[in-house]
Structure 1
Amino acid sequence: MRRALLLPGVVALGVVATAMPAVADVTVFRLTGEQGNGLLPGNGESGKGFADKKDSSATGGLIDPKSLYYDAKTRTLHFDFAFQDLSSGGLFLPAVHGGIHIHGPTPQGKPGANVGVLYKLNTTDQFQPTLKLSRGPLPEGVRAGRLTGSVQIESKDLKALLGSQTYINIHSKKYPNGEIRGTLVPQR
């Protein structure tokens, strides 16, 4: 069983003990932001609904270095990450869209580009049947939290996922287009 590691001030919303499948079937990812590893500000043009690195002190990251991985046998992306210090107002959660997404594909060589939503991570399976969260979506307005679950990846999105052309984006009320983000970079 993995040991839970929380960022200071993060509320644990559930711990899931998962055994990773055989190594040959798994691709482990890290998250990288504009300023380094993790979920960090640097999401676009300041003042246009995006936070940049001078606007926000929010951060986030993986609970464990192996807690973001793709299982090729089941075509499932598993995730376990936390975030903290979102701006006042907290998580943006329109009823259907959720406030945490995987976006992609970004153009090759332009990891900072802003592109559309591929998967909604903070919603219900009513709106995205392949999403499985350990304790349901995070409530609107939270400024810190942990999201653990999995989502089945469609074959049309696999090249972008494995080619570092996708990113996790956390949207807040103050920055509805994104406050913090991290590119999914496969570990070789």
Structure 2
Amino acid sequence: MSVVPSSTGHPNSARGRLPDGKDHLEGGLMRGTTLFAAAVATFVAGAASAGIIVFNFGLDGLQEVPPTPSPGTGMATVTVDPDTLFVDITGSYAGLLAPVTAAHLHGLAPPGANAGVIFGLMHTGGTTGTFMGSGFISAAQMTGLLNGHTYINVHTSSFPGGEIRGQVVPAPAGLLLLAAAPLVARRRRA
């Protein structure tokens, strides 16, 4: 079976071509397992190679250190280019207890710890709004970001240290491999 890029336009997708030249699976757990393993390998290889990496994650008061009782929440997208050390951040928030006074990318600190500001983010709105910003960071900061040691903090007058926070956490690629385990185990029993 050869793995070729799919026509979906997704950079981490793949399809299998069977020896008879058909583009579909003709049943059989082995073919399905092989195709799934090839797709996982393609995804992991794509994530490990240089190129644009995108993180999507939530923000809330429970991630603050110490946690806040805020009902506020947010969503953020952090796009990084490890080759150029460029970071682009966009996000939104809602339900805060007070208007936003500042928003920042902080680092380097793992979840449960605080760190200094890497760079500030522009923000719009009061208790509901958006934030955005971009900039270049150091190689050490990029390494920390890729290892989950940066976070976005949204500050308000009620919580000057931060009302909601979201850790920039890499997607656990290893979990994709674990998802294949039941397929492999089932095949071995058959």
TM-score normalised according to structure 1 size? 0.59
| AA in 2 matched with 1:39 | L
1:86-97 equivalences in 2 (<5 Å): 86-88=96-98, 90-92=99-101
Give the match for residue 69 of structure 1: 79
**SS of 2:100 mapped into structure 1:** coil
User: Deviation at 1:185?
Assistant: 1.1
Aligned partner of residue 176 in structure 1, secondary structure? coil
SS at match of 1:160: helix
1:93-112 alignment to 2 at 5 Å?
A: 99-106=102-109, 110-112=110-112
1:24 Cα deviation (Å)? Answer: 4.0
Partner in structure 1 of residue 124 of structure 2: 138
Alignment of 1:37-186 (within 5 A): 38-42=58-62, 43-45=64-66, 52=68, 55-62=69-76, 67-88=77-98, 90-92=99-101, 99-106=102-109, 110-122=110-122, 137-138=123-124, 142-186=126-170
Q: Distance in 1 between matches of 2:113 and 2:120?
A: 19
Using CA pairs below 8 Å that are at least 6 residues apart, which structure has the higher relative contact order?
Answer: 1
Structure 2: runs of 5 or more not aligned? 1-48, 174-190
- What is the identity, as a one-letter code, of the residue corresponding to 2:161? N
Question: 1:157 & 1:74 partners in 2: Cα distance?
Answer: 12
Superposed CA deviations along residues 123-142 of structure 1, whole A, max 9, x for unmatched, are xxxxxxxxxxxxxx536xx1
Q: Considering fraction of residues, name the structure with more helix.
A: 2
Inter-CA distance 104–149: structure 2 relative to 1 (3 Å threshold): closer
**Identity percentage of aligned residues:** 33
Shift of 1:111: 1.0
Letter in 1 for 2:124: L
Structure 1's consecutive aligned runs of 4 or more residues displaced over 4 angstroms after TM superposition are none
Structure 1 residue identity aligned to 2:100: L
Q: Indicate if the aligned counterparts of 1:103 and 1:116 stay in contact, CA closer than 8 A.
A: yes
Which letter maps to 2:60? L
2:54 maps to which residue? Answer: 28
Q: Does the CA contact (< 8 Å) of 1:27 and 1:186 recur in 2? A: no
Q: 1:120 to 1:149 in 2, by over 3 A?
A: closer
Q: Which amino acid aligns with 1:58?
A: G
Q: Deviations over 1:126-180 (max 9, x none)?
A: xxxxxxxxxxx536xx111112342212223111111101100000000000100
Offset of 1:121 from its aligned partner? 1.5
Cα distance in 1, alignment partners of residues 151 and 121 from structure 2? 12
Unmatched runs of 5 consecutive residues or more in structure 1: 1-22, 32-37, 46-50, 93-98, 123-136
Aligned AA for 2:59? L
When Rg is computed on C-alpha atoms for both structures, the one with the higher figure is: 2
Alpha-carbon RMSD across the aligned residues, in angstroms, is 1.9
Quote the Cα distance in structure 1 between the aligned partners of 2:56 and 2:170: 7
Query: How far did 1:25 drift?
Result: 0.8
